[in-house]
């Protein structure tokens, strides 16, 4: 239920999505924007509109939590923290976004990167 999702996001993040006035500053400053399916300010808009598809947006998992958007947002909406909240809500449902058994050449990856992706994408 979308209103439940919005309330959970508010409860976990402590942020008010309705303060966003769609200036686009977060998207303009996000280093991961070129790799996202929709831009951070558009994700916030989907949430505001109560669109249930927001939980399936890939951008939420592409976000690297650099928090540049947090610094730039003039309304303190903070998309990075909101994305973290949506990831947490998804992981709590037991939905992992990475399948380790399907990954190849794991030994070539820096261990810090493996730990970081594990923390972010698995429950």
Residues that bind ligand SF4 (CB under 6 A): 20-26, 30, 32, 40-41, 44, 63-69, 72-75, 77, 79-80, 83
Structure tokens at 40: 């951070």
Residue appearing with tokens 């794991």: 106
Of residues 2 and 23, the one with the C-beta less far from ligand SF4: 23
Neighbouring CB atoms inside 10 A of 98's CB total 12
Of residues 79 and 85, the one with the C-beta less far from ligand SF4: 79
C-beta of 113: minimal distance to ligand SF4 in Å? 16
Residues 6+ apart with CB under 8 A from 44: 17, 20, 22, 26, 77, 79, 82
Structure tokens at 43: 């994700």
C-beta of 37: minimal distance to ligand SF4 in Å? 13
C-beta of 92: minimal distance to ligand SF4 in Å? 20
Of residues 34 and 110, the one with the C-beta less far from ligand SF4: 34
Of residues 25 and 85, the one with the C-beta less far from ligand SF4: 25
Q: What's the CA gap between 75 and 104, in Å, rounded? A: 42
């Amino acid at each position: 239920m979308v209103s439940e999702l919005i309330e959970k996001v508010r409860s976990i993040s402590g942020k008010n999505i309705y303060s966003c006035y769609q200036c686009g500053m977060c998207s303009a400053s996000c280093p991961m924007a070129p790799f996202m399916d929709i831009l951070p300010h558009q994700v916030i808009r989907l949430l505001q509109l109560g669109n249930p598809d927001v939980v399936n947006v890939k951008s939420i998992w592409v976000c690297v939590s650099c928090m540049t958007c947090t610094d730039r947002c003039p309304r303190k909406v903070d998309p990075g923290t909101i994305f973290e909240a949506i990831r947490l809500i998804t992981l709590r449902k037991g939905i992992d976004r990475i399948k380790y058994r399907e990954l190849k050449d794991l030994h070539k990856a820096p261990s810090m990167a493996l730990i970081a992706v594990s923390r972010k994408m698995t429950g």
